[in-house]
Amino acid sequence: MAPPTVFLTGPRSFTAGHLIPRLEATGMAVVPFAGDVTDADALERAVHRAAPDYVVHLAALSFPPSATGAEVYAVNTVATERLLAACGDLARPPRRVLVPSTGHVYGRPDPERRPVPFHEGLCPAPRGHYANSKLAMEHLAAGHAGRMPVVLPRPFNYTGPGQAEHFLIPKLVAAYRRWDPELRLGNTDVARDFSDVRWVAEAYSRLLQADGAAGPVNVCSGRAWPLQAVLDHLAARTGHHPVIQRDPVLTRDDDPPEVRGDPARLHRLLPDLPGPPPLAATLDAMLEGGAPA
């Protein structure tokens, strides 16, 4: 019997580098699509040629400053809807489609009306093109749920070996490894819900095959890690203490002091999923250039 197939977009992405080996370890055959997801005809042909059992859509613009608003919506929203339409047109639609959204759809916390931790029942209030493009994608995906289950993981911040240095944590790790004399940062009095990419990949792999998995699911640790604790750990591990300069360009006046998610639904769907490793273990792996324990 042929192994179940997974049609996967964004095979060269940070997340795919950790997810593909996990899918293959479960006996799945990954069919990568490395083409332009905004090319509707090419995407449709590839989906029909693969006729996959499962679909994982990782192609997205996840670093908005590098793209225009139009490009963000073209990739994150329009291309996703076309992919789902192509899947729905198959004679045998996929058993499940996994399309990551983002925890940024919740917007800013508010102590009275929008307290943390954020849960899936909270009405989204996205800010900026990236979060809005993902929420629009979620609404469009709901229109295809009648043909196939569509699970929409909402990952909060995650990091790990292999992440590009324009993201905050790998930027900090690289600076401490190089012993940069100075670090220019925005507000350091913040705490964020960070997870390890390997754990996120494990959660995605299990969600793809979990009975009842559909709709939004927070993928997060449920814990907020202070940025200052990250800096302290890197300093302790490297013995390096750079001068921290607060850069007004990198500082946002409306930056919330704490953001974290509620992973309760994730663990109801995946009761055997272990909790994520502590962020300290992930930072150590990144410093060493290896994989977390």
Mean predicted confidence (pLDDT) in 181-191: 93
**Cβ contacts of residue 233 below 8 Å, gap of 6+?**
279, 280, 283
Residues 224-275 pLDDT 10s: 999 999 999 999 999 999 999 988 887 777 789 999 999 999 999 999 999 9
The amino acid at 199: W
- The chain-wide mean pLDDT, for the chain, equals 94
The encoded tokens of residue 158 equal 């995650």
Averaged pLDDT, 212-233: 96
CATH of domain 5-161+194-222+260-277: 3.40.50.720
User: In this prediction, what percent of the chain has a pLDDT beyond 70?
Assistant: 97
Compute the average pLDDT of residues 167-192: 94
What are the extents of the domains in the chain?
Answer: 5-161+194-222+260-277
Residue among 190, 185, 174, 170 nearest 254 (CA): 190
**pLDDT mean over 73-90:** 97
Residue 225 β-bridge partners: 192
- Model pLDDT, residue 64: 61
CA 213, 217, 220, 221 torsion-angle sign: negative
Q: 144-165: per-residue pLDDT in tens?
A: 989 999 999 999 999 999 999 9
Q: Is the pLDDT assigned to residue 77 strictly greater than 90?
A: yes
What is the mean pLDDT of the segment spanning 184-205? 96
pLDDT in tens, 9-42: 999 999 999 999 999 999 999 999 999 999 999 9
Average pLDDT on 124-138 reads 95
Which pairing describes strands 225-226 and 191-192: parallel, antiparallel, or unpaired? antiparallel
Question: Residue type for 218, please?
Answer: N
Report d(CA 67, CA 73) in Å as an integer.
10
What per-residue confidence (pLDDT) applies to 252? Answer: 76
The 3 state secondary structure assigned to the chain is CCCCEEEEECCCCHHHHHHHHHHHHCCCEEEEECCCCCCHHHHHHHHHHHCCCEEEECCCCCCHHHCCHHHHHHHHHHHHHHHHHHHHCCCCCCCEEECCCCHHHHCCCECCCECCCECCCCCCCCCHHHHHHHHHHHHHHHCCCCCCCEEEEEECCEECCCCCCCCHHHHHHHHHHHCCCEEEECCCCCEECCEEHHHHHHHHHHHHHCCCCCEEEEECCCCCEEHHHHHHHHHHHHCCCCEEEECHHHCCCCCCCEECECCHHHHHHCCCCCCCCCHHHHHHHHHHCCCCC
